[in-house]
Structure 1
């Protein structure tokens, strides 16, 4: 299977429906899947018609982690992901696995992960790249790498403590224990549960796609700064963003449509 077929992307009404598409292997990560994830993300970065993204897995699982072939290669001292050819990146993520997860954080629009079945190891780290995670109550999430004598190396060590706190991040990483979707929400690892995560994610994406895309993108930029820059920098960025929005065509349209009690028509 060519790497392009590992991830399916369909854009409709401003929502990009992205699917990891290797259900017979529980959407496991092999070099072609890594390449496909990065290619899909890079394609969506430049598509101004996209206002929100849903990231899900085809079949019963989100992503069960690394392909067994990768583990066999590691036993021989090889790292298959290192062989993947990717376009250069100016972002903080440089390694292939990090790029496949962090590309979703780098998208200018919100990304909602819909998690059912297994999201294990690298599969969980890809979900961590999303802005919001909607999970099935009986989904299974795990920072599984310790089982294989490894550590999360797809951005997880840096992003997980932001979500769950340093102590819980250590507990999950050092034990590799599996948590349900319900517990994941309690821990802060997921945003909320829904019996049909993909339908819920698509509904949320459609709602976001109906808002001013300039305001949505500005909100994502600002919220991603929080806790990563000092307050003076964050407060100044907030004022820069609001200054650019007030009186802009889409902001005027938002107000006008609200007063006229009609659906706003925003320009991308």
Structure 2
């Protein structure tokens, strides 16, 4: 990894402009998530994490769709022992996106199915077009979601709604996705909206943003008392940053929202 924000795989690349990285899937014609794409997602996530030039990330699959799912032809050829060896990597690719310690948003223009839906679940927010379609249709193939769908979807929309979506394999349109919390906004141009949302963090305090995201994510994985302890530790830790001193001094002297953070 270069730490400069530069990454270009065959099917996944980072495009950085003004502090915001677009993590772009581009595997014609349906952005099927193959094992190679999974490896490239991990590499792109590592670069987005390492680069101080990147303050926020937009996950995007182009004007037509995010991703129509994992590469079924590739998976169909595997035996049980072979999938045992591969399954950790299937999850690791999506987990790498979830663990980017910066604000992330998925821009969903069309289909986000199977592994594509799981990829959106790894982002902090999901902005969808009115034509977006979400789903975890794996049961219709005789398998189940394997890259976090059973876990992240249940945590996002609740277990009963997640079971309905996963057990039936049905599609969820943008209107329903918004109603149940699977989508956060429905707009005509989700990519432009996602870029605008991400842009606000280029002037933010990166260590505070990182601490806040980690406190939420780690806290959700445990009980309330442990979550509160995670929050307490993260709260105290940001007082070691120059940005905390800058931000609080600016608030006292000039009021809220006027601090200039240096990322230190």
Q: Which residue of 1 aligns with 2:14?
A: 9
CA-to-aligned-CA distance 1:134-188 (integer Å, 9 cap, x gap): 1112201111101111100111111111011111111101111111112111112
Write out aligned runs for 1:134-213 (5 A): 134-213=127-206
CA distance in structure 2 between the aligned counterparts of 1:190 and 1:9, rounded to whole angstroms:
23
| TM-score w.r.t. length of structure 2 | 0.87
- Call closer, same or farther: CA 1:256–1:102 in 2, change over 3 Å: same
- Call closer, same or farther: CA 1:80–1:16 in 2, change over 3 Å: farther
CA RMSD of aligned residues (A): 2.3
Q: 2:21 aligned with 1:28, yes or no?
A: no
Contact 2:219 2:228 in 1 (8 A): no
Contact 1:42 1:103 in 2 (8 A): yes
- Call closer, same or farther: CA 1:41–1:247 in 2, change over 3 Å: closer
3-state SS of 1:5 partner:
coil
Per-residue deviation, 1:263: 5.8
- Call closer, same or farther: CA 1:176–1:56 in 2, change over 3 Å: same
Q: Which residue of 1 aligns with 2:5?
A: none
CA distance in structure 2 between the aligned counterparts of 1:4 and 1:79, rounded to whole angstroms:
28
Q: Which residue of 1 aligns with 2:262?
A: 266
Write out aligned runs for 1:21-60 (5 A): 21-22=26-27, 24-60=28-64
3-state SS of 2:77 partner:
helix
- Call closer, same or farther: CA 1:244–1:40 in 2, change over 3 Å: same
- Call closer, same or farther: CA 1:21–1:78 in 2, change over 3 Å: farther
Q: 2:123 aligned with 1:130, yes or no?
A: yes
Write out aligned runs for 1:55-70 (5 A): 55-70=59-74
CA distance in structure 1 between the aligned counterparts of 2:141 and 2:196, rounded to whole angstroms:
37
Contact 1:212 1:266 in 2 (8 A): yes
3-state SS of 1:95 partner:
helix
3-state SS of 1:11 partner:
strand
3-state SS of 2:161 partner:
helix
- Call closer, same or farther: CA 1:13–1:174 in 2, change over 3 Å: same
CA-to-aligned-CA distance 1:117-140 (integer Å, 9 cap, x gap): 100111101111111111112201
Q: Which residue of 2 aligns with 1:91?
A: none
